[in-house]
Amino acid sequence: QVQLVESGGGLVQPGGSLSLSCQVSGSIFSLNTMGWFRQAPGKERELVATMTSGETTNYADSVKGRFTISRDSAKNTVLLQMNSLKPEDTAVYYCYCNARRRSYSIVVDYWGKGILVTVSS
């Protein structure tokens, strides 16, 4: 079983910073893309940032220049540094990865349970 556990969310004032962390655990043969998605109230889940195993990154236009994704492949962790936060960044943030559990397995998507980030004065 593969588990993703997020940490680091909370309340921050506009213009502030917050860092999210996600630990992936379980029996994994290979981790491919890791990243973060978010879902604001009344909206669909959207991509925030992803990073491939080759460290190619992809960011939503709305967070470019403010958020930075990084990963530690040895520790199976992915981080999201969020700076210059805006009220519209308020959402539940979900950690994501796709992985193979065995060398012969198909690639499967896995999700964390989500963590709330609230940007408000």
| pLDDT digit string, tens, across residues 48-93 | 999 999 999 999 999 999 999 999 988 999 999 999 999 999 999 9
> CA 42, 98, 64 angle in degrees (round to 5)?
55
- Confirm if 20 and 38 have CB atoms less than 8 A apart: no
| Among 69, 68, 34, residue whose Cα is nearest residue 53 | 34
Q: Quickly tell me which residue has 């470019």 as its tokens.
A: 64
- Confirm if 58 and 47 have CB atoms less than 8 A apart: yes
- Confirm if 49 and 63 have CB atoms less than 8 A apart: yes
- Position 103 scores a pLDDT of 86
Amino acid at 99: A
- Position 75 scores a pLDDT of 93
Q: What is the pLDDT of residues 11-45, one digit of tens each?
A: 999 999 999 999 999 989 999 999 999 999 999 99
Instruction: Report, as an integer, the average pLDDT of 85-102.
Output: 96
Whether the predicted pLDDT of 105 surpasses 90: no
